[in-house]
Amino acid sequence: MVYRGWPTIGAHVWSPFIIKLEARLRFSSITYTTESGSPTKAPKGKIPYVKYRDQSNHTTTLGDSTLIINQLTHSGTLLDLNAPLSPEKKAVDLALRALLEDKLYFYHTWERWTKNYYVMRDHILSAIPYPIRILVGLLVYRKVVQTLYGQGTGRYSADEIRTFRLEIWENVNALLVCSKSASPEGSRAAFWIFGGAGPSEADAVVFGFVVSVLVCTASPESREVVRGFPVLVEYAERIHENFFPDYEKWEEI
């Protein structure tokens, strides 16, 4: 059972970490069901988290997408995607994941919560009645702003953040352009960040961040940036077609 925070069924949600986890499960052909869940019930106090039966038939609850993936891989439930990689590529894979999860994530959070606050609030807090949502939204906003300032993103100007964000997407796109060039012409099979026959851990993260931008209406600037790189979009489309055929696709613009 994957707890995603939203009651939506059969569609990608706005969180790149949830999309990453679902992609990681599907890359290993693991079937699962989804529920909304609640951060108050999550082991790490955040979404996503999972419940599953271990080899001893005990129900185990795990939180944090990275810790979930690490433990399920260690137990043999998930395939070890990075086993075929050289030590150098494993290091690049880890660096790429950190770049997106520890840098780009905060640039996206800044855009969603400070530039498109009302859209973000009304989506994230849609389950809360409107009068209460106003108060809760302000509390969340203040916490987010404090976090962004402490993390560092909140200390930059809007133009500086846009420059940092564009630089990341430019370089991710460059990697994908190289890997796509090795795929057969006309094929709709998925291609991967390192150009191999299968995905690495980084592919789940990259896919998660690309799709998160494409489905989120609270990040219009990021969506425009991503759509400016056709290979990025095609990369996500092919993974979606091959691994998420039961999910609605993002709106074409």
Q: What percent of the chain has pLDDT over 90?
A: 87
pLDDT band at 58 (very low <50, low <70, confident <90, very high): confident
Does position 54 have pLDDT exceeding 80, yes or no? Answer: no
CA-to-CA distance for 34 and 6, rounded, in angstroms? 9
**What CATH number was assigned to the domain covering residues 2-74?**
3.40.30
Q: What is the pLDDT of residue 240?
A: 98
* pLDDT (tens digit per residue) in 214-228: 999 999 999 999 999
Q: Is the pLDDT of residue 51 over 70?
A: yes
Domain regions of the chain by residue span: 2-74, 87-243
Q: What is the mean pLDDT of the chain?
A: 95
pLDDT of residue 57: 80
Residue 8 has pLDDT above 80, yes or no: yes
- Nearest partner of 205 among 178, 241, 168, 230, judged by Cα: 168
**Which pLDDT belongs to residue 253?**
59
Domain 87-243 CATH class label = mainly alpha
Residues 143-166: tens digit of each pLDDT: 999 999 999 999 999 999 999 999
